Amino acid sequence: MFTQTLDATPFISSALAPAVAISACAILASNAQSKYSSLVDRIRALNAERREYQRLDPISVTESLRIKSLDRQIALIFRRSKHMRDAIFLLYAAIACIISTSFLIAAMQYFQLKNLTHAPKVTFLSGLVLVLAALVMELLEVRLTFRVLRYELGLFDQETAKEAERSFRGV
């Protein structure tokens, strides 16, 4: 009986080894979903404000400018949300690949399948590639975040941005 337990130990440990990668992906996916939810809420709030302005009759020049500003912000935040959506899908696909790795390792050891030796490597590496792709999507979202911030602050060109930075330093 004790010998069987010792024989099962490598089987269990190798099948559960990808659990660390699954946990890391789950944390990344949770953070991405939280950010995605915030982006969706922000789009809804800006769109509600936009609808309020559009109900006005007549629309003043200031209100028309605000509607254009809202349209631009909504478009940029929508692009950000698409990047986050893609990152979430990629992370869940990575989790599926890594779970498949565990199943393949377990199946190989339990059923003595020698012809599947490369399958766990392929699924695990596929999962890592998907995580990398998700991180690229998140980096693109961060880049767009800065563009939205620049837009909201009215920093459209480099000279204006530099001037604003100098004035912030003086405060």
Question: In this predicted model, what pLDDT tens digit does every residue of 30-72 receive, in sequence order?
Answer: 999 999 999 999 999 999 999 999 999 999 999 999 999 899 8
Tally of domains within the chain: 1
The reply to whether 33 falls in a domain is yes
Of residues 98 and 7, more confidently modeled? 98
For 114, the domain range is 9-170
Residue at 2 is within a domain: no
118 assigned to some structural domain: yes
Instruction: Say if 3 falls within a structural domain.
Output: no
**What is the per-residue pLDDT for 6?**
52
Q: What is the pLDDT of residues 85-96, one digit of tens each?
A: 999 999 999 999
Residue 4 counted as domain residue: no
Phi and psi torsions of 60, nearest 5°: -75, 170
Residue 148 lies in a domain: yes
Question: What would the two tokens of residue 44 be?
Answer: 């809804």
Answer whether residue 122 shows pLDDT above 70. Answer: yes
Contact predicate 34/42, CB 8 Å: no
Q: Does 152 fall in a domain?
A: yes
One-letter amino acid of 30? S
Query: What's the pLDDT at 2?
Result: 45
CA nearest to 86, candidates 147, 10, 138, 152: 138
> Is the CB of residue 142 less than 8 Å from the CB of residue 134?
no
